[in-house]
Structure 1
Amino acid sequence: MTTTTLKTRTILSLLLAACVHAAQGAEPLSIDQRVTQLMKRMTLEEKVGQLTQYSGDADPTGPVAVKGSLRDGISSGQIGSIFSAKGTRSIRQYQDLALQSRLKIPLLFGLDVIHGYKTTFPIPLAEAASWDLEAIERSARVAAIEAAAAGIHWTFAPMVDIGRDPRWGRVMEGAGEDTYLASRIAAARVKGFQGRQLGDTDAVMACVKHFAAYGAAVGGRDYNSVDMSERMLWETYLPPFKAALDAGAATVMTSFNDLNGIPASASRYLLRDTLKGKWHFTGFVVSDWRSIEEMTAHGFVANNKEAAQAALSAGNDMDMESGVYRENLAQLVHEKKVALADVDDAVRRVLRKKFELGLFDDPYKFIDPERERAMLNKPEHRQAAREVAAKSIVLLKNDRAVLPLSKSIRKLALIGPMIKLGVENHGYWSVTVPEVDYAHQAVSAWDGIAAKLGKDATLLYAKGSDIEGEDRSGFAEAVRVASEADAVVIGVGERWDMSGEARSRSKLDLPGVQEELIKAIVATGKPVVVMINAGRPLVFDWTADHAPAILYNWWLGSEAGNAVADVLFGDVNPSAKLPMTFPRSVGQIPIYYNHFNTGRPAPNPTATEWVSAYTDLINLPKFPFGFGLSYTTFRYADLKLDRQTLRGDGKIKVSIQLTNTGKVAGEEVVQLYLRDRVASVVRPVKELKGFRKVALAAGETRTVDFTIDKESLSFFNAALQWNAEPGDFDLMIGASSADIRLQSRFVYAR
């Protein structure tokens, strides 16, 4: 039977049913009614099939389970979702198989579209550095448009895990260490992915992950255990999930870790009590890659059958890749070890999303090769990637105003192992799209700078060293090239795959001999700009202390080289701020700005005697949360509160005057922090509670407003009750968590 015949018969049968229903004078069936009718026709095995997901023909993201014939499983209705298939041609073939099944239930196609599809945007941590919610939503919007055009229904993003330990490789996939900032970004990404509504052919379902507390893996070691108090869980790690769900996230993914001894995929507390109970989540939950099967290795269950029982009973609806539902659930129901009602609830959740996507009305609605060609080749998508990339570059240092470089420079030396790398700029979790030449798709720093300067400038090049290894034989050539130039740009950092899943590192120094190369080039006395590519905060103390100018470029995506050139030569004024604290040493980790005070706080950064401090390291990070420089300067002035006492559910209006005191236009991220001076449980030394990204022309002054209400002051007390307590509060406004420009106090009274 041909694809066209299958499609025609499916659509005709649906239309006929709708006509009969209408002829009987009935109202159109709701989605829930349609789901109920379908489930009455399903066997138990077909229900289990809807809860089973396997990887398709693309690169897997973990060990692949032995699953027999994928084709036979789909055509017999034993598989409900495919992971990692991509491109309309491949996806059509899979959907054809699904429509050969008895009930012709369409497949759901998911993919890790983390920071772009064909057009790669900066890694999520880099985008978080932009503190630009509109830009972040735009990035997700473009990713959704392209992925949906390629037949994808569902992305396994955003990752909203709080990351306070840069040894953990997956910090590159999140929004950093702060709960408030991460929550705002989580909502923006969900809105970008899901667009106007599910079912539109330019939208994909979001999957907020990893539920929960995955970012707190002990020692920063991926897949490790997590041990924390309930108050820390609710106050720090859960709010970004709630923000994503409030924004409409369609699905949730469990995490690999155990939380206080219970694997997340079998945590009734997380899934049934919190997610589906207290939060009233109506979407469905999918496990992470084989995480249900892995519960045997945790020592939580004895075998796969017990794993399937534990996960489904706890509220984990879909099994990704391990096959333990397919192999065991039906028998578990027959043995009355798993309630049929729990299976039905899970199936209903999955089917509801398939109906919302419109797949029962047209299983091929997302499979349009013409739309795929058009949407994957839109110049405006590349332009968006370039703009977001430039917004994500953090200027860490600019002594003697080395930057921006002059476009009239005659000889510019480009040195280092990162300068000519193109494909590396995609970073971890980039999508390898069929029939795309990735070697030429991402712009290298060399190509971007060459295009910016044109033929009038002479570009000199020396690699200097490899990313890894101890080979210093290229140093002499690099020094010679630098000595001939008017200025030097050095590109160093991590290889693209040094940060990401399963990429935890015990050392965070610049790999190999790259910092030694920087020392040799700085010794020439030339104006030197160091550009660092990485997926996490690194430790580079010598460079931070001695290099005149430093740009933290992260991994910026398809338009990396052009964005770098835009910032280097001043066409874009950098405005990014760090979403994570940068340590001086791995020994400081975990280090984050919103820590609790202690009974013996250090009175100054160098104090070591009988206080909470290290004897061999000052008590300050190298670069604090919220830090980032500009090519201009800003003055903060005239802090005003419209009242000094906040009562009940009232509000305090806060305003300042922000002035661009430099000679060029720029954007500043104004940050508002609060501190509860005395409470029933100790509170952080400061907490981000608001920010505004403000664009100002040279010399321009603008009023920047904030509102403080009871919600801003609330926290979870010892009884896990969310409320604000009466007392004194410090209000701090500044350019970073450590650069507070204006301060005041107010009182909260019930």
Structure 2
Amino acid sequence: MRFSLKAMVTLRLLRCCITCALAAFTLAACVGADYKNQPPAPQIPSEQAQIERILQGLSLEQKVGQMTMLAAYIFFDTDANGQPVLNAAKLDKALNQYHVGTFINSPANLYSTSQWQRWIDTLNQANSSHQIPVLIGTDSMHGASFVKDAVLLPQNISLAAIRDTQAAQIAASITAKETAAAGILWNFGPVLDVGRHPLWPRLEETFGEDPYLVSQYGATMIQVFEAMGMASTMKHFIGYSVPLDGKDRAPAYLPDVQLWQDHIPPFKAAIAAGASTAMVNSASINGMPTHANAALLQGVLREQLGYRGLIVSDWADINYLHTRHKVAPSKKHAVEMAVNAGIDMSMVATEFSFPELLVALVKEGRISERRIDDSVRRILALKIKLGLFNQLMPAHWVQQQSSAATLRAEKAAHKQHALALANKSMTLLKNDKRTLPLPAGAKVLLAGPAAKSLHALNGSWSFSWQGDDDSLYPSETQTLHQALQQHLGAGNVIHQGEADFYAPANVDVASVKRFAPKVDYIVLALGEGAYAEQMGSIDDLTLAKDQLQLAQAAIATGKPVIALFTMGRPRIIAPIVDGLAAILYAYRPGSQGAQAIAQTLLGLNNPAGVLPFSYPQYTGNLLTYDHPISAAIRQRPKSSAGMDGYAPQWPFGFGLSYTDFAISNLSVSGEDGLAQSEFKAGDTLTVSVQVKNTGQHAGEKVIELYIKDHFASLTPANKRLKRFTRIALAAGEQRTVAFTLTVDDFAFVNGALALTAEPGVFTVEAGGLTTDVVLLE
């Protein structure tokens, strides 16, 4: 594996940007200049000719090997001391008998940068059957999450709460930098699934429930990854995030209108942003597993959306067509279905059945070799694009370019940015009588399972797949208990719990009753431990019973109770909301999350995050904010019905601050600057509001713009997000926020699956203020 000149240039630029930036979003302008204004990468002469020349020299078996991805750990045995030992014979078999061209992850869960580099060198040196370099892919989901001592960033759901795509730029640039330093140039991210089912255990990996929000964040990340010489992956195409029962990999049932309105837009934006690869939904839509769905992979993704990049399976999902979905009577039939549907590369990932069966299928005439060639061309094009054929080895490049002092400085800067992102994501949901921020010298009782848990702060894909092993985190990573002690003093923080999230001592009601008289406040660290994928599937969205009982006991003491939630999805807490004095939702804030929470509690950070999903109040009311108007039916007493059935605990976009803001003077104007209430196709509208910080503290405010159609040929949505911004205001400062709209912003997907704007009346909402405009014929 080698770095291209493009990657070397952009990494040097990124180093300059990061080392000059501090904790605030000062990196944003520098990163923006990096990915927007850098010189184009030098073109390899006759790239297509190079691909054809390589392709002509490959046997069928070698071609199929390029379509195969295997997990690195299968090539390692365990010695008497429990340490992994390379099985050279098995690796030689993979590389030189099966000609495997791509590998996923490291031999162990957590490799250091230098270990990753040595592993990649080992693969390339052992690859003697042809001159095609191997490609390594990994899941760097919130930072370089499989590189030892990497800086773990807030999860995507946290970034979406910030409502500023500069956050996505910063997160992507740090992720790319620390991942590429290990020699890994293919990242299986970002997740573009629209998180519209709160039970779904991968909600924390998404950017929330709104397709526009997901599109903006996802496209931004992809632009940064690709400009830095890293292949991005738009995943999981498509409909993965809305399983009927909320379980991971469970079937979804999606009408075409809903598919195109809610789920296609992020992938369309990702293609425009230059996504190199696409990963496929592991589940099924309307009874057809996506890995076998040619109508979606060929008809929609390639033909209608114009995608030309590589399509890769998810883990073992071709085999699952036979073993789980039962649409293929054998593994061989499963391979036939998937490849003919459009899969270019199989993440097998632990055995050799895919290349064996695919070779046999071609020889039997059930899959054409021309079809194989199409996939191999895409794979070769990706390897050429990443510069794998023509530069220094990553290990050598890193050793030559980065001194130990430089690397330490970069890591310190990354931590500062991780802290800034976590601070900006903090979402204050309740603050009765201005309980927060806590006064200096406050004495608190800290209780709850997340008080000493690192994995509750970080969630999935955190130094392991599940992320739940606290021993893997760097020793300097703080728990919430440690961070509060740092700020309040050890003598002012009483805590009787344990590091194990699930330890009974963490929800001990008796200790809360015993220590409550000795403190001014009770701080409860509640939420979820880490989980990933199927392991996080649940039957009840309600917060764990023992945590609710702990909160109720704390409330009964009469002390002000502050609840902090570190969790990847909105667990229902309705039974305790009224009794809590303050509620802070921290999502999955990452490695600097404990410090961010402590700073927010003490007023060193003024929270300004807003919810990227609707926070449900009841298990039977899981509507998204943009539900069809007719979906909000609610039964009333005496058998009457009302239309106020959207009744979340807190709505999409909700979030409080320690200061106050006044929003006024909503106006809509045309291109001439004059007030305008009617418009037609081709017109541009400017919507503006004045925002004033009327409080005593500096703060930031998210302003969102929504559009609601009054009548349409299909039942219109309650409203839809069209723009958002985040501004900082000093106490007493006022600013005008303006958004530009065109007729396309008033469009929806109609019954013919066409994006159309129908004439009529629309409500424009900005900052909570509304006015009506009319689209003319």
TM-score normalized by the length of structure 2: 0.85
The answer to which of 269-278 and 633-642 deviates more is 269-278
**Which AA in structure 2 matches 1:557?**
G
Match of 2:84 in 1: none
Deviations 1:216-254 (A, max 9, x none): 111101111111111110110111111122111111000
8 Å Cα contact 1:464-1:475 kept in structure 2: no
Residue of 467, 483, 491 corresponding to 2:525: 491
Is 2:119 the counterpart of 1:115?
A: no
Match of 1:264 in 2: 290
Match of 1:241, SS state, is helix
Match of 2:73 in 1: 57
Q: What is the distance in 1 between the residues matched to 2:506 and 2:471? A: 36
1:560 deviates by 1.3
Match of 1:21 in 2: none
Residue of 619, 629, 641 corresponding to 1:611: 641
Flag the 1:211–1:129 CA change in 2: closer, same or farther, 3 A: same
8 Å Cα contact 1:390-1:572 kept in structure 2: yes
Flag the 1:114–1:429 CA change in 2: closer, same or farther, 3 A: same
Is 2:657 the counterpart of 1:633?
A: no
**Which AA in structure 2 matches 1:229?**
P
1:613 deviates by 7.6
8 Å Cα contact 2:252-2:285 kept in structure 1: yes
Match of 2:607, SS state, is coil
1:91 deviates by 4.6
Match of 2:104 in 1: 83
Match of 1:122, SS state, is coil
Q: What is the distance in 1 between the residues matched to 2:775 and 2:143? A: 44
Match of 1:34 in 2: 50
Match of 1:15 in 2: none
**Which AA in structure 2 matches 1:349?**
R
Match of 2:188 in 1: 156
Flag the 1:476–1:96 CA change in 2: closer, same or farther, 3 A: closer
1:285 deviates by 0.6
Q: What is the distance in 1 between the residues matched to 2:64 and 2:470? A: 35
Is 2:630 the counterpart of 1:598?
A: yes
Flag the 1:289–1:608 CA change in 2: closer, same or farther, 3 A: farther
Q: What is the distance in 2 between the residues matched to 1:746 and 1:509? A: 41
Match of 2:332, SS state, is helix
Is 2:373 the counterpart of 1:344?
A: yes
Match of 1:586, SS state, is coil
Q: How many residues align?
A: 700
8 Å Cα contact 1:578-1:625 kept in structure 2: yes
Structure 2 unaligned spans of 5+: 3-42, 77-87, 145-149, 670-675
Q: What is the distance in 1 between the residues matched to 2:471 and 2:177? A: 17
8 Å Cα contact 2:527-2:565 kept in structure 1: yes
The answer to which of 694-703 and 268-277 deviates more is 268-277
1:395 deviates by 0.5
**Which AA in structure 2 matches 1:479?**
K
Flag the 1:289–1:441 CA change in 2: closer, same or farther, 3 A: farther
Is 2:325 the counterpart of 1:298?
A: yes
8 Å Cα contact 1:429-1:500 kept in structure 2: no
Deviations 1:404-457 (A, max 9, x none): 112x225232222221223542211113599995162431112112222357x6
**Which AA in structure 1 matches 2:736?**
T
8 Å Cα contact 1:509-1:540 kept in structure 2: yes
Match of 1:463 in 2: 497
Q: What is the distance in 2 between the residues matched to 1:143 and 1:93? A: 20
Flag the 1:97–1:416 CA change in 2: closer, same or farther, 3 A: closer
**Which AA in structure 2 matches 1:353?**
L
Is 2:306 the counterpart of 1:280?
A: yes
Flag the 1:37–1:465 CA change in 2: closer, same or farther, 3 A: closer
Deviations 1:43-89 (A, max 9, x none): 111111110001113999xxxxxx99244212446211000125443
Is 2:201 the counterpart of 1:169?
A: yes
Match of 1:535, SS state, is coil
Residue of 154, 157, 163 corresponding to 1:125: 157
Match of 2:613, SS state, is coil
Match of 2:338 in 1: 311
Match of 2:682, SS state, is coil
Match of 1:18 in 2: none
Deviations 1:609-648 (A, max 9, x none): 342689xxx7511111111111111111001111111211
Match of 2:705 in 1: 672
Q: What is the distance in 2 between the residues matched to 1:28 and 1:378? A: 34
Flag the 1:464–1:340 CA change in 2: closer, same or farther, 3 A: closer
1:389 deviates by 0.8
Flag the 1:185–1:331 CA change in 2: closer, same or farther, 3 A: same
Match of 1:429 in 2: 461
Match of 2:630, SS state, is coil
Q: What is the distance in 2 between the residues matched to 1:73 and 1:472? A: 48
8 Å Cα contact 1:652-1:708 kept in structure 2: yes
Match of 2:298, SS state, is helix
Match of 1:438 in 2: 473
8 Å Cα contact 1:464-1:517 kept in structure 2: no
Is 2:90 the counterpart of 1:69?
A: yes
Deviations 1:160-193 (A, max 9, x none): 1112221110111111111111111111221333
The answer to which of 258-267 and 545-554 deviates more is 258-267
Flag the 1:714–1:613 CA change in 2: closer, same or farther, 3 A: closer
Report sequence identity in percent.
33
Match of 2:33 in 1: none
Match of 1:69, SS state, is helix
Match of 2:438 in 1: 405
8 Å Cα contact 1:253-1:286 kept in structure 2: yes
**Which AA in structure 2 matches 1:690?**
R
8 Å Cα contact 1:172-1:500 kept in structure 2: no
How is 1:195-274 mapped onto 2 (pairs within 5 angstroms)? 196-198=227-229, 204-274=230-300
Flag the 1:168–1:601 CA change in 2: closer, same or farther, 3 A: closer
8 Å Cα contact 1:441-1:558 kept in structure 2: no
Flag the 1:704–1:94 CA change in 2: closer, same or farther, 3 A: closer
Flag the 1:381–1:599 CA change in 2: closer, same or farther, 3 A: closer
Residue of 553, 570, 573 corresponding to 1:540: 573
Match of 1:137 in 2: 169
Flag the 1:90–1:685 CA change in 2: closer, same or farther, 3 A: closer
Q: What is the distance in 2 between the residues matched to 1:469 and 1:378? A: 33
Match of 1:516 in 2: 549
Q: What is the distance in 1 between the residues matched to 2:300 and 2:689? A: 40
Is 2:723 the counterpart of 1:690?
A: yes
Q: What is the distance in 1 between the residues matched to 2:271 and 2:419? A: 29
Q: What is the distance in 2 between the residues matched to 1:348 and 1:236? A: 32
Match of 1:17 in 2: none
Flag the 1:166–1:600 CA change in 2: closer, same or farther, 3 A: closer
1:527 deviates by 2.5
The answer to which of 565-574 and 90-99 deviates more is 90-99
Q: What is the distance in 2 between the residues matched to 1:501 and 1:137? A: 30
The root-mean-square deviation of aligned C-alpha atoms, in Å, is: 2.9
Match of 1:362, SS state, is coil
Match of 1:321 in 2: 348
**Which AA in structure 2 matches 1:265?**
H
Flag the 1:381–1:608 CA change in 2: closer, same or farther, 3 A: farther
Q: What is the distance in 1 between the residues matched to 2:278 and 2:264? A: 13
**Which AA in structure 1 matches 2:259?**
L
1:526 deviates by 2.1
Deviations 1:544-573 (A, max 9, x none): 111000111122111111111111111111
Structure 1 unaligned spans of 5+: 5-26, 61-66, 199-203, 735-740
Match of 2:707, SS state, is strand
Match of 1:359, SS state, is coil
The answer to which of 126-135 and 229-238 deviates more is 126-135
1:745 deviates by 0.7
